[in-house]
Amino acid sequence: MSADKPRIEDRSQAILQARLRGGGAEREACLLDLSSRGFMALADPAPPRGTFVELLVGRHSLVGQVQWSEERRFGVKLREQIDSLAVLGNEAGPTALKVAKIARNKPSVQARLAFSQHFARGFTYGILAAVAAVAATTMASAVTASLAPLTKVTSALAGH
């Protein structure tokens, strides 16, 4: 990248083992830095400028075109924006930025199941509390009704 043209975004420094496909035989490589739009890597020899390459880093495949190439170092502009944190953290799941954001915002099956169980438990306790309140009200009415004659006797004895 030229000195007069600033980077669109910062790159994350890394030293990650990788496999390079394209621009010659498949070979070992090392990912040196990464952003959502591109990366710099090291391989012997570096693929020539203009070559389409695939860099396999952990669980992820990064595909793009070589923008510059030196003896062993080269820079690649990626075919699509990626979630660089997913690559650096070797997270399972999609690498493509749009798909990764959607997947991150969607709760996992375990989280949805836990929420459903929590909701069902709360609903059950709510029903039990309502039944207990109705039973308590009914009992209070029954006790009040059974004590009414005693209240009349007490009033009569008091002279009211």
Going by pLDDT thresholds of 50, 70 and 90, the confidence category of residue 87 is confident
Structural domain including 30 reads 12-106
Dist CA 49 CA 77 (whole Å): 11
Q: Are residues 129 and 77 in the same domain?
A: no
Residue with token string 């944190």: 85
Residue-wise pLDDT tens digits, 95-143: 666 655 555 566 666 767 777 887 788 889 889 999 999 999 999 988 8
Q: Are residues 19 and 96 in the same domain?
A: yes
Q: Are residues 42 and 26 in the same domain?
A: yes
Q: Are residues 89 and 141 in the same domain?
A: no
40 part of a folded domain: yes
72 part of a folded domain: yes
**How many folded domains does the chain comprise?**
2
* Cβ contact 64:21 at 8 Å: no
Last residue of a domain, one of 84, 106, 128: 106
Dist CA 20 CA 129 (whole Å): 64
- What's 96-120 look like in SS3? EHHHHHHHHHCCCHHHHHHHHHHHH
H-helix or E-strand spanning residue 33? strand 27-34
**Span between the terminal Cα atoms of the chain, in Å:** 104
Last residue of a domain, one of 106, 122, 152: 106
Residue 36: Cβ within 10 Å count: 19
Residue-wise pLDDT tens digits, 2-60: 445 566 667 888 899 999 999 888 999 999 999 999 999 999 999 999 999 999 998 88
Q: How many residues does the chain have?
A: 160
